[in-house]
Amino acid sequence: MTKPVETRLTLAHIMSAHDTNLMGTVHGGVVMKLVDDAAGTVSARYSGGPSVTAAMDEMAFMEPVNVGDVLRVLAQVNWAGRSSMEVGVRVEATRWNEITDPVHVASAYLVMVALDENGRPKQVRPLHPTTEEDRRRFREAEIRREHRLARRAAILASRGQTPATAPVIDS
């Protein structure tokens, strides 16, 4: 029986001049890569093998990230289905040379799909939320999943397709 707390991971990375955009702040794509790295690690550990990113929901940037900031990328599995998992990721920044309170700079929800040795979706074990916070995250992940599936069905319908004839992106 796996609890969400058992899936948690924290990555840390010091942002350098290599990471900047034309505005002199850290490029959003660099932050997104760190988010995807953390989500991929968490989902691979949870599923016991490789996983791939199927979707990224609600990537929100709240504050700019500067050169010299230490990013902490915190990730955990919020929900698990048959072969897919939702991983919630929170990104915080502190200065490399100061002791300051972390600033919440970004958040995202990623749908990761576990793969077998042939690169096909494989079943993952159930997730068992035990705290009220974990249950809230689980419920909200189910809402996001319902919205993704409804949006996908509506788009396919506008193209004259059905979910049965389109590639699977969430299970």
**Separation of alpha carbons 134 and 139, rounded Å:** 9
The rounded distance, in Å, linking the Cα atoms of 141 and 91 is: 18
Per-residue pLDDT for 171 more than 50?
Answer: no
Which residue's structure tokens are 């990224």?
56
User: Which comes out higher in pLDDT, residue 13 or 166?
Assistant: 13
pLDDT bin (cut points 50, 70, 90) of residue 152 is confident
* Strand 103-114 relative to strand 69-80, pairing: unpaired
**Predicted pLDDT at 160:** 87
Whole-prediction pTM value?
A: 0.90
Closest by Cα among 22, 34, 133 to 93: 34
For range 29-45, the mean pLDDT: 97
Beta-bridged to residue 12, according to DSSP, are 72
Fold of 4-158: Thiol Ester Dehydrase; Chain A (3.10.129)
Residue type, 4: P
pLDDT tier for residue 166 given thresholds of 50, 70 and 90: low
Whole-number percent of the chain with pLDDT over 90: 80
Whether residue 67 contacts residue 17, with contact meaning beta carbons closer than 8 Å, is answered with yes
CA dist 62 and 103 (Å) reads: 9
**If you average pLDDT over every residue of the chain, what do you get?**
93
* Confidence check: pLDDT of 27 > 80: yes
